[in-house]
């Protein structure tokens, strides 16, 4: 903010951090950053109507910060929470501050350390009046792409947190897909880290160009700075941490009745990775295949590129489907084309692919699913055979590819006019009298499957409670 000419006041309960920030600002071209030693002083130093961004751990710390600050605020002031917060908490806080006339904005921020200093993707949700007040500042501070700042109004309170949550869910899927491709290149193709780095670097010049592909290439090439032997990636414990947004995304997918198997598989993989001790013991007991298929390594690398691209499209389709369903349910009116646009810069999932996703939703704002956009459907149809070859190779080789496989299964289920769900519904009717619909006529039906079944009366009552 200060580097864009805005005067900024900073506060923190650890006063040394305030001093360090002010000193750094002075060292960086004497930027206009001023410190405050108390909450009261902090609020007093800010011009009215006040615009305050809080960046603290989600949950109780946010409530405590708002409670301390709100006693000094006035009607017309705005609090912006920039943390990864569970969206119902933001709605609750906004409702609590409304009687005081204080605006509350839940704003997702993505970009990591680089984005924080040089421009992140900002995803706000809250009162339009509050958005209009903070927009002149945030538009300059956000990452900039060819069609504007990576900042837009996403809707009422909750919408911004929700979009950021799903962004992180897509991120989970993307990272898992890349790790599965890495596993194939390493275990089946037999590439060294340097060779894999070169493959990812080459891919980053084409349709797979993205921040995550770019950093994967850099990670694989990075020499270990402790032992000076080999690359650091080989010394990292295979145990993935997480903060919870991926879990929230999967929970919300279930709540909205939206299938998100790619993201769910990525989450499950993190759970399994955490059970390192169990896996070490299991590796001595459970055996995989001993005969590995012989396939051209050049063909595998070529197929992996196509499979990764196709699966990434599916991951985005699932995430955007969750946002679409929640937006319709809550009346948020989230613009999916704008979601794609503000993800093109600054954020972790920024990718060349997002230009086409943006175009798809700008062409058809009511697009039911990204995969049926003419551009993407043709690409998925063309890439399905290499995608299938990779999944088949992984299964035959005993290499887990949960998200690549889940993406393909999603594609195969979504593209079919008829699924075996008719048998499942028949089973539900058999043991629970849940009824079923028919292909040849309207209405609800129940079958007397055997002599134990009796007339169950009003069939419409049997479907009460269905999701």
Pick from 107, 106, 113, 86: nearest CA to 347: 113
- Catalytic positions are 164, 171
Whether the CB-CB separation of 373 and 367 falls below 8 Å is answered with yes
Whether the CB-CB separation of 98 and 69 falls below 8 Å is answered with no
Strand partners, 53: 80
The residue count of the chain comes to: 467
Pick from 112, 3, 115, 105: nearest CA to 49: 105
| Both tokens assigned to 337 | 């084309």
CA-based R_g, the chain, Å: 26
Pick from 439, 428, 440: nearest CA to 465: 428
Whether the CB-CB separation of 456 and 464 falls below 8 Å is answered with no
* Pairwise CA distance, residues 162 & 167, whole Å: 8
Pairing type for strands 8-10 and 33-35 reads parallel
Whether the CB-CB separation of 76 and 49 falls below 8 Å is answered with yes
Whether the CB-CB separation of 254 and 399 falls below 8 Å is answered with no
Interior CA angle at 168 toward 162 and 173, to 5°? 130
CB atoms within 10 A of CB 136: 10
């Amino acid at each position: 903010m200060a580097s864009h000419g805005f005067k900024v006041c900073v506060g923190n309960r650890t006063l040394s951090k305030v001093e360090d920030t002010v000193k750094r600002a002075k060292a960086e071209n004497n930027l206009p950053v001023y410190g405050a030693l108390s909450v009261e002083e902090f609020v007093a130093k800010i011009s009215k109507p006040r615009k305050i961004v809080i960046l603290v751990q989600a949950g109780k710390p946010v409530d405590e910060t708002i409670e301390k600050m709100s006693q000094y605020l006035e009607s017309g002031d705005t609090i912006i929470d920039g943390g990864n917060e569970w969206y119902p908490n933001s709605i609750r806080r906004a409702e609590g501050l409304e009687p005081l006339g204080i605006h509350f904005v839940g704003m997702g921020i993505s970009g990591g350390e680089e984005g924080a200093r040089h421009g992140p993707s900002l995803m706000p949700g809250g009162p339009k009046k509050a958005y209009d007040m903070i927009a002149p500042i945030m538009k300059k501070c956000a990452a900039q792409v060819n069609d504007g700042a990576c900042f837009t109004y996403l809707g009422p309170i909750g919408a911004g947190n929700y979009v950021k949550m799903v962004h992180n869910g897509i991120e989970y899927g993307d990272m898992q897909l890349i790790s599965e491709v890495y596993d194939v290149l390493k275990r089946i193709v037999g590439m060294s880290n340097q060779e894999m780095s070169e493959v990812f670097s080459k891919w980053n010049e084409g349709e797979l160009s993205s921040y995550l592909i770019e950093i994967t290439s850099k990670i694989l090439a990075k020499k270990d700075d402790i032992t000076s032997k080999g690359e650091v990636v080989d010394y990292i414990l295979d145990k993935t941490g997480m903060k919870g947004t991926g879990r929230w995304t999967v929970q919300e997918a279930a709540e909205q009745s939206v299938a998100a198997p790619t993201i769910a598989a990525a989450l499950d993989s993190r759970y399994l990775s955490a059970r390192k001790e169990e896996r070490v013991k299991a590796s001595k007991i459970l055996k995989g295949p001993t005969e590995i298929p012989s396939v051209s390594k050049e063909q595998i690398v070529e197929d992996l590129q196509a499979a990764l691209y196709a699966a990434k499209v599916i991951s985005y389709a699932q995430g955007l489907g969750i946002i679409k369903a929640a937006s319709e349910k809550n009346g948020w009116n989230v613009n999916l084309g704008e979601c794609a646009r503000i993800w093109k810069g600054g954020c972790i999932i920024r990718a060349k692919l997002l230009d086409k996703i943006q175009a798809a939703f700008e062409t058809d704002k009511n697009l039911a699913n990204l995969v049926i956009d003419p551009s993407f459907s043709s690409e998925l149809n063309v890439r399905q055979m290499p995608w299938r070859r990779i999944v088949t190779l992984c299964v035959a080789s005993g290499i887990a590819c949960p998200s690549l496989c889940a993406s393909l299964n999603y594609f195969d289920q979504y593209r079919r006019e008829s699924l075996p769900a008719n048998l499942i519904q028949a089973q539900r009717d058999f043991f629970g009298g849940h009824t079923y619909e028919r292909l040849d006529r309207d209405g609800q039906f129940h079958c007397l499957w055997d002599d134990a079944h009796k007339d169950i009366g009003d069939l419409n009552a049997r479907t009460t409670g269905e999701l």
